[in-house]
Amino acid sequence: MMDHATRVGNLLLTALPPADFALLALHLRKVVIERDSVLVRSGDRIEQLFFPLKGAIADITELPNGQTVATAIIGHEGAVGLTSSLGASVSPTTAVVRIPGTALQISRAQFLAAQHRSPAIASMVQVFTMSLLAQLQQVAACNALHSVEARLARWLLHIHDRANGGDLLPLTQETLSELLGVRRTTVTHVVSTMRASRALKSNRRGQLEIDRPRLEALACECYQVMSREIDRIVSRGAIGLVHGAPARGASHLPGSRRAGTSS
């Protein structure tokens, strides 16, 4: 059985009382999540759940005309496929690994069996769902009201929060176009502008080197709003789980790099 201490890499699993975590531990398998790998595609049946320990995963919404836009970034504060335990077994989005790392994997069937036996696990699902909804709502407002430059700065900060260390992010301009839902020509212009302001130090092939303080100055207020809200939700929910009580709030997202953990 997986030792209780090994779950510290994911905040949701860490928040579970030992007895409740034990219901999952026999079935959790540590896997490598590689850059650009697709964990689940939109419209596919969700068969596996992933609890990231390191790395960043983008939830991508795909439109009928082929355009894409990111709606959320998930790291060690959350999970991929977890909302399927609320009833819907088909994924509404495509989950793509943007920063490689590791995750704990469990089948949906095994997770559901444990959830039915554990109010704490059921509360954990609610905690994450609330934090995800908070992120989705803020992203929707941000996409409607703020410039592409401010939005790109926000996404880069969210990804950097979940990166494995260092200021070099393995992101191509094609990936940035997918995140933002804009043309490659728009991304090229925005990246050039951000390089001129030195928020981006360099733009190597397939990599972006950021200057975090300058990036924070360019980002809209949505970055701080999202960070604080998800932080508040997850931390409040996690406290309830640790003490064996149903979570009343949402979950705790690492809005800044201070929240980083290791597997």
- Residue where the block lists tokens 């926000």: 154
Amino acid at 248: R
Handedness of CA 129, 32, 94, 23 (dihedral sign): negative
What does pTM read for this prediction?
0.85
Q: What CATH number labels 4-143+222-253?
A: 2.60.120.10
Residue 75 has a CB neighbour count (10 Å cut-off) of 25
Determine the pLDDT at residue 152: 95
- The pLDDT of residue 107 is above 90: yes
Determine the pLDDT at residue 239: 58
- The pLDDT of residue 257 is above 50: no
Per-residue pLDDT of 123-175, as tens digits, reads: 999 989 988 998 899 999 998 999 999 999 999 999 999 887 788 999 998 99
* Domain 147-218 in the same topology as domain 4-143+222-253: no
State phi, psi for 38 to the nearest 5 degrees. -100, 120
Per-residue pLDDT of 30-70, as tens digits, reads: 999 999 999 999 999 999 999 999 999 999 998 888 888 89
Going by C-alpha positions, the residue among 48, 23, 25, 49 that lies closest to residue 116 is 23
> Looking at domain 147-218, which CATH architecture does it have?
Orthogonal Bundle (1.10)
Helix axes 184-196, 148-161, angle to 10 degrees: 80
CB contact at 8 A, 178 and 66 = no
- Write down the domain spans for the chain: 4-143+222-253, 147-218
> How far is residue 148 from each of residues 49, 68, 70, 182, 218, measured CA to CA in Å?
32, 15, 13, 9, 11
